[in-house]
Structure 1
């Protein structure tokens, strides 16, 4: 055989075939890889640059939120108020009890009289539970009689004069004379009748309430809740002024405090008759409140409603001060917070917040020794008294923001970080879902103004989107190209090794690989390569 591999070689060495050489477009792919790598670096550099520049921009723009303040503590205060103010409510109470008065042998029954008063409170759960003072929702008989006399309630005036006569405090003729003057609208006579309520002779009068027909109106927005003097229990309820019911109370107006001390607290819980997903305040604890701690109070003091301001709007007022002392209530284990925070009539039941924005107390008492120039000392009821009443009635309140409250806080946070577009989206949702929010329109206007002036900072979520697209459309394809090029390089290396090995291979010498060489037996000649010329000169053996 001429220049032929030994038999059996071909089948056993298919794996030694030369690898397929790399494609000619390899260099083009490498160029694309370099281009995409550079593009990725540029894109991420732009994102980081925008982020850095907007951090400064956001810091400057955030000052809009607290433009009236010059230091961080006040900035925090304004945010605390904005976060909690929508849950602060004004409460109007018409308390109409049926009761008896007894002094010695004199007994008189009273019905049809009502007290009318305002107070403050705050929503503690999305379901519409409201915390307030007990004296905001329940009045003493003295207050009922006083209001009835002011309103010229003749049946109550007649019963009261009859009681004074039975008790031997006025004569029958005086009773008749005062009644006739009151019926004619004589103001002096009405003032004299009302003044007798403080007569020391009545101090020992026993009071027994038989029942009470009370109406509670809760003002959620800035729309004023007011009494109809013609029908004191008519409040004209609507979406902004909602009726509520009394859930429970820890307060006795007749035996609440005496020389021996308190026999209870002064707290109550109301429940709005309709609606859900209300904003609410979170409840804190006195554990982290100490002497000197800062307090912020929100409420509706009556003195703020005067001839200087519009009668068509009612807004909560904020006052601040510190904890003067934390005292034990006389006669009980309850705590009282002594404070220099200004508390006025109408503030009762309003929340007092710690620096974390949690309610730690309720504005409740104002005391004075009556001496000239003596300063008033204010006290707050411990929020634990409300917590105990909630637990007693199986009412659970959230410890974290949820629903509309969470959305409101989220919008405020974005606004404060100058992410006005995103904040506007949250504020618009709040306006749609809870239009009673007194602050939302103002924040919408401020956000739109800041946005129009180019003070918008880029939302961090946008950076994540850009980076995500960079990874998806640039980095991932770049990785694919990288591994593709690596695969081609491997093929090229294998091809080069094969070519180099072939030059020195026994196959180039027309020999089989060593493992396929025939075994040379002893005394056996190796085959020789015979040329054509040699064959032509060879002698043939003779034919037989």
Structure 2
């Protein structure tokens, strides 16, 4: 009987312990909102800035060619063309063949040009290693030259347009202005000289400031040169690092387990939705989640695989995590295709799978690991879901002690505090405490039982060779409900 009593208590205590832990060991399909919540602290905005001194030559007319053009204009007037028709024809010819009529001089004009690009990324280790796309943090020289010409020389081109319009008495048409802009860019790119180009990469982390709901705080990042791939059609992956601890990591999943028709959820900072002028500055901290399906798996020319999805992926999403239904990262948002009109083709977004990403993590000697902040965050979300707001608040406070200034954490903490004030808190003794009490009861019972036997106390035992003691029957016996 003693063994049965002890066994019953142990089973009861064991049930309490298993009940407390079994769900955490399971692999649960998450609600879409939970996927977004879990990922927000660990998904970051990445800004790459290029600065260079750019010099372009002043110009003068090519005298012989200009004289020939003017003679043609005079001949056209003599043949009966109107003055406006001749002016339009001359401008069309000059703007279409600018280098025929303008030549560079030895006089150079110099400006400090700066261009910025943004993308997304996510933490894979507590000590600040981040995964993103290679094209987010690098650029090929020719593309960079064009970007500097178009963006860094804006002031020169604007001045050219202003002078051009004034020369025409303010009568330049929209088409003529656009032709001038493009002609000026082509001219400057051909003749400009670019000094040393410096590159800086910054990771924007959420930070709460007094009087401001939230803003972003840039932290310098190092690009690991031995772990940078090539932009599409290459393996467009890069590993970067910031010098910080307790970074909130994301869970890594298995892209090989994905099948056509499975759900995918890209998260990131698309430039149009992140920097729209009408939005409050605090919205920069809020990544955007979209949803779609695995449309197909395609083989790249190099023999490796990419995942096609119909989920919306736009500029700025690049390098951001793509999740499966369990909230695990299975790839990176990387590129889209364009239709015949140059617009983004519908349903033609592509994801580099984590299988490829792991090659670059190995190059960098980086092993993904869950951070304490990520664990606290996930536990807090579980508690909030169960309306245990007081305990959730404690978890969030622990998170903020390790890593202060994360807007998503601050927002959840404020929500928990409000729920507590509204009387919605259902926090009670934790399952760990209940299991501990149950274990203590088992120990006490065992000690008492053995003490009783030590003092001669007797437990009901069947007589030798006889029947076991009978328990008096009760009326209408019922099983416990």
> What TM-score does the superposition give when structure 1 sets the normalisation length?
0.58
User: What are the equivalent positions in structure 2 for 1:486-505 lying under 5 Å apart?
Assistant: 486=457
Root-mean-square deviation over aligned CA pairs? 4.7
Larger Rg, first or second structure (1 or 2): 1
Is the 1:97–1:214 contact (alpha carbons within 8 Å) kept by the matching residues of 2? no
Higher alpha-carbon deviation: 187-196 or 238-247: 187-196
Any idea what SS the aligned residue of 2:457 has? Answer: helix
Change beyond 3 A, Cα 1:418–1:97: same
Indicate the residue corresponding to 1:85 in structure 2: 40
User: What are the equivalent positions in structure 2 for 1:105-124 lying under 5 Å apart?
Assistant: 112-124=112-124
What is the Cα deviation at residue 340 of structure 1? 0.5
Uncovered stretches (5+) of structure 2, i.e. residues with no partner: 57-103, 210-214, 461-481
| Alpha-carbon distance between aligned partners in 2 of 1:321 and 1:125, rounded to the nearest angstrom | 28
What is the Cα deviation at residue 428 of structure 1? 0.8
Q: Does 1:196 align with 2:183?
A: yes
| Alpha-carbon distance between aligned partners in 2 of 1:385 and 1:207, rounded to the nearest angstrom | 39
Indicate the residue corresponding to 2:271 in structure 1: 302
Change beyond 3 A, Cα 1:180–1:81: closer
Any idea what SS the aligned residue of 2:126 has? Answer: coil
Indicate the residue corresponding to 1:337 in structure 2: 307
Q: Does 1:465 align with 2:436?
A: yes
Indicate the residue corresponding to 1:434 in structure 2: 403
Indicate the residue corresponding to 2:317 in structure 1: 347
Is the 2:247–2:371 contact (alpha carbons within 8 Å) kept by the matching residues of 1? no
Is the 1:291–1:325 contact (alpha carbons within 8 Å) kept by the matching residues of 2? yes
Any idea what SS the aligned residue of 2:244 has? Answer: coil
Indicate the residue corresponding to 2:198 in structure 1: 213
Is the 1:216–1:243 contact (alpha carbons within 8 Å) kept by the matching residues of 2? yes
Change beyond 3 A, Cα 1:396–1:98: farther
User: What are the equivalent positions in structure 2 for 1:525-536 lying under 5 Å apart?
Assistant: none
Indicate the residue corresponding to 1:235 in structure 2: none
What is the Cα deviation at residue 323 of structure 1? 0.9
User: What are the equivalent positions in structure 2 for 1:321-400 lying under 5 Å apart?
Assistant: 321-329=292-300, 331-371=301-341, 375=346, 377-398=348-369
> What TM-score does the superposition give when structure 2 sets the normalisation length?
0.65
Any idea what SS the aligned residue of 1:277 has? Answer: coil
Structure 1, residues 174-226: CA drift from partner, whole Å, max 9, x if none?
Answer: xxx949949x9x99999656523886x999x89999964111221111679xx
What is the Cα deviation at residue 131 of structure 1? 1.3
Q: Does 1:291 align with 2:260?
A: yes
Is the 1:327–1:338 contact (alpha carbons within 8 Å) kept by the matching residues of 2? yes
Is the 2:294–2:307 contact (alpha carbons within 8 Å) kept by the matching residues of 1? yes
Structure richer in strand, relative to its length? 2
User: What are the equivalent positions in structure 2 for 1:9-408 lying under 5 Å apart?
Assistant: 76-96=31-51, 112-139=112-139, 140-141=143-144, 142-150=146-154, 152=155, 178=160, 181=163, 194-196=181-183, 212-221=197-206, 240-248=217-225, 250=228, 262=233, 264-272=234-242, 274-304=243-273, 305-314=275-284, 315-329=286-300, 331-371=301-341, 375=346, 377-398=348-369, 401-408=370-377
Structure 1, residues 358-415: CA drift from partner, whole Å, max 9, x if none?
Answer: 22221121222234996362122233333222222322322xx232222222332333
What is the Cα deviation at residue 327 of structure 1? 0.5
